[in-house]
């Protein structure tokens, strides 16, 4: 298993470069409505992609990964009591 901290914009570009070659593979899980590749994460409360806040970071990541759908992202329940 590998880890991408998502702290800088370069981390987001690295993630896209990693998944892009597989995006057209018929065995990749695709979102049924959009046809985008599905990528699931289990963290993200510290992922800012160099954008200052978690919210801005995920908005940037979603825009940068335009052929990839990010779903089922968990954040700490302590952040949103």
Per-residue pLDDT of 49-80, as tens digits, reads: 899 988 888 888 888 877 565 654 555 566 55
* pLDDT at 70 (0 to 100): 61
Domain spans, the chain: 28-76
Q: Is 5 exposed, middle or buried (0-12, 13-18, 19+ CB in 10 A)?
A: exposed
pLDDT at 48: 85
Identify the pLDDT of residue 78. Answer: 63
1 token code pair: 């298993």
Residue 26, pLDDT above cutoff 80? yes
């Amino acid at each position: 298993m590998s880890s991408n901290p998502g702290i800088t914009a370069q981390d987001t570009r690295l993630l896209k470069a990693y998944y892009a070659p597989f995006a057209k593979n018929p065995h990749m899980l695709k979102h049924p409505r959009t046809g985008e590749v599905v990528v699931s994460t289990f963290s993200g409360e510290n992922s800012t992609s160099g954008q200052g806040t978690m919210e801005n970071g995920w908005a940037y990541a979603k825009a940068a990964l335009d052929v990839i759908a990010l779903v089922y992202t968990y954040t700490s329940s302590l952040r949103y009591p």
